[in-house]
């Protein structure tokens, strides 16, 4: 198990007050390391029910480019944190992004809540007035793993210049079509690319958002490094994901996928979830410190999500770059 000192330090990192940034000299335990490495070089990722073709297992020796070779457009020399099977899963249901009752229903329902968190933390970070209708005017945001643009469109309406990035071409097409329906959102720049490629192009953004993406990525550590490189020194990074806890297994996988059938079975892989402590540590390694964390709670009676202190299932973390 993770040593108690690391857990305690991770928790203190997550709390907003009285934080001290220490260099991450503590080596995580072997088990913890094993978990991360397993994901990096995992064999036979879960076959998605929608994809017809069987998934070929990756060789057990650690190759330099685990999955990038599968992508036709990827540069062989650049590492990619993408997971091919995950991409296939999303490509199969990409038409249903904007169907509020389809497989993305929970995401649509959660959207206003996570936007509320973004609004309060980012307005405070950039010193903007949250009571005006376009508080993010003049700021450059990037939505990594934007999918159909569910998060990008409201951010554009709030005044930000949004760049939406997704590795699945179909998603980008759907996102562009939908964004063109409204003149305020038609200025969103959608690109079918990866975070790593943006880093190569040396793009920088005021806020880098990767919401509900990191659990679908093959190498979270590398992914976080790319996110950190994309963030300006005065910028913010926001990541949201699902906690790797028993409660999350019961709710996000068993309830959501099998009992209530909100999501197609196999959407999430429990072993790919990250605990808040792990996320904080990974980000800390890339010189990004988590300032605030919040959880999402679902009220089954009203059918609405709300922000809470309970990071047991879904959680979102707002982080800033360390000033070295």
Least distance (Å) from other proteins to the CB of residue 234?
Answer: 23
Least distance (Å) from other proteins to the CB of residue 296?
Answer: 14
- b/e for 5-33, b at 16 or more Cβ within 10 A? ebeebbeebbeeeeeeeeeeeeebeeebe
Size of the site for other proteins (CB under 8 A): 28
Sheet holding 161-166, edge to edge: 189-192, 161-166, 140-144, 205-211, 231-242, 314-321, 288-299, 304-308
* Per-residue binding letters, 148-187, with other proteins (x by CB under 8 A): -----xxxxxx-----------------x---xxxx--xx
Binding-site entries for Mg(2+): 212, 215-216
Could you say whether residue 109 binds other proteins (CB under 8 A)?
A: yes
Could you say whether residue 43 binds other proteins (CB under 8 A)?
A: no
Least distance (Å) from other proteins to the CB of residue 116?
Answer: 6
Closest by alpha carbon to 222, among 194, 196, 241, 197? 196
CB 154 within 8 Å of CB 118: no
Could you say whether residue 124 binds other proteins (CB under 8 A)?
A: no
DSSP assignment string, 280-299: HHHHHHTTEEEEEEEEEEEE
What CA–CA distance (Å, rounded) separates 118 from 115?
Answer: 5
Could you say whether residue 73 binds other proteins (CB under 8 A)?
A: no
CB 187 within 8 Å of CB 176: no
Of the candidate spans 81-89, 105-113, 202-210, 283-291, the one that interacts with other proteins by CB under 8 A turns out to be 105-113
Range 93-96, long-range pairs (CB < 8 A, 24+ positions): 93/50, 93/264, 94/148, 94/168, 94/170, 94/171, 94/174, 95/170, 95/174
What CA–CA distance (Å, rounded) separates 208 from 214?
Answer: 13
Could you say whether residue 132 binds other proteins (CB under 8 A)?
A: yes
Could you say whether residue 238 binds other proteins (CB under 8 A)?
A: no
* Per-residue binding letters, 303-322, with other proteins (x by CB under 8 A): -x------------------
What CA–CA distance (Å, rounded) separates 148 from 176?
Answer: 8
- By C-beta, is 14 or 316 nearer to other proteins? 316
What CA–CA distance (Å, rounded) separates 85 from 122?
Answer: 33
* Per-residue binding letters, 185-224, with other proteins (x by CB under 8 A): -xx-x-----------------------------------
- By C-beta, is 111 or 245 nearer to other proteins? 111
Could you say whether residue 112 binds other proteins (CB under 8 A)?
A: yes
Radius of gyration of the chain (CA): 19
Least distance (Å) from other proteins to the CB of residue 158?
Answer: 4
CB 256 within 8 Å of CB 106: yes
Could you say whether residue 116 binds other proteins (CB under 8 A)?
A: yes
- By C-beta, is 31 or 101 nearer to other proteins? 101
Select from 3, 16, 130, 138 the one that contacts other proteins (CB under 8 A): 130
Select from 108, 170, 204, 244 the one that contacts other proteins (CB under 8 A): 108
Residues near other proteins, by CB under 8 A: 100, 108-109, 111-112, 115-116, 119, 130-133, 153-158, 176, 180-183, 186-187, 189, 302, 304
């Amino acid at each position: 198990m993770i040593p108690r000192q690391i857990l305690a330090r991770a928790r203190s990192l997550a709390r907003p007050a009285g934080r001290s940034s220490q260099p991450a000299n503590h080596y995580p335990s072997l088990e913890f390391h094993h978990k991360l490495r397993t994901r990096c070089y995992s064999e036979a990722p879960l076959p998605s029910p929608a994809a017809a073709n069987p998934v070929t297992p990756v060789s057990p020796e650690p190759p330099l480019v685990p999955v990038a070779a599968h992508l036709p457009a990827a540069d062989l020399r650049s590492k990619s944190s993408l997971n091919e099977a995950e991409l296939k899963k999303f490509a199969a249901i990409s038409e249903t992004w904007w169907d509020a009752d389809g497989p993305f229903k929970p995401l649509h329902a959660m959207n206003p809540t996570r936007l509320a968190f973004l609004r309060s933390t980012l307005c405070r970070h950039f010193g903007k007035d949250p009571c005006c209708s376009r508080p993010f005017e003049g700021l450059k945001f990037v939505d990594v793993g934007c999918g159909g643009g569910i998060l990008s469109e409201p951010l554009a309406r709030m005044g930000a210049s949004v760049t939406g990035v997704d590795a699945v071409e179909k998603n980008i097409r759907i996102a562009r079509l939908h964004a063109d329906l409204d003149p305020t959102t038609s200025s969103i720049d959608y690109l079918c690319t990866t975070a790593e490629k943006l880093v190569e192009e040396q793009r920088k953004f005021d806020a880098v958002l990767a919401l509900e993406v990191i659990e679908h990525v093959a190498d979270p550590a590398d992914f976080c490094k790319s996110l950190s490189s994309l963030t300006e020194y005065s910028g913010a990074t926001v990541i949201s994901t699902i906690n790797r806890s028993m409660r999350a297994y019961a709710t996000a996988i068993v309830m959501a996928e099998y009992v209530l059938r909100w999501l197609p079975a196999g959407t999430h892989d429990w072993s790919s979830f990250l605990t808040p402590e792990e996320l904080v540590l990974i980000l800390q390694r890339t010189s990004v410190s988590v300032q605030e964390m919040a959880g999402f709670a679902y009220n089954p009676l009203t059918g609405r999500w709300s922000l809470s202190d309970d990071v047991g299932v879904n959680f979102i973390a707002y982080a800033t770059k360390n000033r070295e």
